[in-house]
Amino acid sequence: MALSAPEPLAVTHNVSEFSCGKPTLDHWLTTRALSNQQKGFTAVLVVHEAGRVVGYYGLAPTAIVPAILPRSIRTGQPPDPVPCLLLGQLATDEAWAGQGIGTGLVKHALQRCVQAAGLIGGRALMVNAVDEEAAEFWRRRGFIPSKDDTLVLFRSIADIAASLANF
């Protein structure tokens, strides 16, 4: 069976068997993702095989106090708070690891963020890493830790847009 392209999470998607090895991310998908999407808090995009979700990510708007942003993102005289986008969750089912799903979801999420920022503004993309291993994943992709928390990382939308040409 073929995998779907990323599409919005729907009630018809089977999330009950999803397991990425990070209980927090599994739990969010199975208990909160659909409700958050239906209420407009988060846009949740999934990749599935015959309805069974094998990867997902969640995007939301956010605003950040300038003081916690890395200096390279805080340049100029930013508004307070600074409009940003949040990639709150991203995970691939362990059974599908190593098949490029995570890479494809990262690229899709970054493209959507650049498009969204072009439409409504947004200085940076923020990620909340679930643990140090996840934080390292984002650092390898050019994200910079916040001043207050090494598990909260940022990358400017301009930097993301420039990097997508080389993805």
Tokens matching residue 75: 């340049």
Q: Residue 87 maps to which CATH number?
A: 3.40.630.30
Domains: count for the chain: 1
Rounded-to-integer distance, Cα 77 and Cα 79, Å: 7
Within-domain flag for 2: no
pLDDT digit string, tens, across residues 13-69:
999 999 999 999 999 999 999 999 999 999 999 999 999 999 999 999 999 999 888
Dump pLDDT digits (tens) for 114-126: 999 999 999 999 9
Q: Tell me, yes or no, whether 1 lies in a domain.
A: no
Alpha-carbon 81 to chain mean position: 20
